[in-house]
Structure 1
Amino acid sequence: MNARFIGAACAILAIATPAVAHGPGDVVTPHFEHAIPNIPGKTLTALVVDYPPGGASVPHTHADSAFIFAYVLSGEIESKVNDGRIQRYNAGESWYEPPAARHLVSRNASKTKPAKLLAVFVANSEEKALTTAAEESNTAERKQ
């Protein structure tokens, strides 16, 4: 399998890697990757993001071609995409992110309980950097 995800810390995450730090206090585990047979040139990639209590991802942007579906598996996640407001999602709730989205806040809403998120990307198969660290100017948004 090929490397498809560059973590928010800008490190390459190979699909065979069991768990790698994604940002301060979160762990990303590759779960699934496969070319979509009836949509030539597109690949579906699924990742599980585990947030410890108080854990957060660094602000990041998504690939120009990547449509993302996010589903909270457990706990509560706070998320801010593009110019939207910070929203809280509970286990069983979901949202989507459009291609080239800026994900300025992605964090566990709890300081005492862990949270887990499933992120599913549909992107151009040749696009290797699905996620890259955002500019440091967005650091203040992360602290809201």
Structure 2
Amino acid sequence: MKKIVSSAATLMWFCLMVARPVLAAPEASVAPLRSEPLPEYPGKEVQMIVVEYPPGSVDPVHRHDAHAFVYVLEGSIVMGLKGGKEVTLKAGDTFHEGPNDIHTVGRNASSTQPAKFVVFLLKNKGAPILTPVK
């Protein structure tokens, strides 16, 4: 009986180790901070959000259809736009995406430490924060 239990435990461990790379990366959490219409610019608004990347978090390819200004609060993140180079940002660093940019790389630079950043978006009123790109 001990041999059967030991064999079953070994098989379970093996299956978990093989399946590990297939598991999805942890998702980022997004918390709204503030949203304000801009009466001086009809149809436009500002939205501020805080994004938290757990260790190993990776964003899908997307666009913002907005000017997005990033300020890293803690940890480090990797950002990249279509046609540009990837950059690694640490606490205190900034990043900008324009309304026509495609965000091809957005991830936590660490597999062990979380990262947190603020995003200030200047966008069309009521438009989504993020639009996936295939």
Question: If the length of structure 2 is used for normalisation, what is the TM-score?
Answer: 0.76
| 2:30 matches 1:31 | no
Give the number of the structure whose alpha-carbon radius of gyration is greater. 2
- Tell me the residue number matched to 2:44: 42
Aligned partners of 1:100 and 1:125: how far apart in 2?
17
- Tell me the residue number matched to 1:8: none
- What is the DSSP-based 3-state SS (H/G/I as helix, E as strand, rest coil) of the residue aligned with 1:56? coil
AA aligned opposite 1:27:
S
The share of aligned pairs that are identical, in percent, is 35
CA RMSD of superposed structures (Å): 1.5
Question: Quick check: which one's strand share is greater?
Answer: 1
Question: If the length of structure 1 is used for normalisation, what is the TM-score?
Answer: 0.71
Deviations 1:40-81 (A, max 9, x none): 221000111100111111111222xx1110111110010001
The residue correspondences of 1:122-133 to structure 2 (distance < 5 A) are 122-126=122-126, 128-133=127-132
Segments of structure 1 that go 5 or more residues without pairing to the other structure are: 1-22, 136-144
After superposition, the Cα gap between the structure-2 partners of 1:111 and 1:24, relative to the gap in structure 1 and judged at 3 Å, is closer
- Tell me the residue number matched to 2:119: 119
Aligned partners of 1:101 and 1:130: how far apart in 2?
14
Segments of structure 2 that go 5 or more residues without pairing to the other structure are: 1-24
AA aligned opposite 2:67:
F
Segments of 4+ moved more than 3 angstroms = none
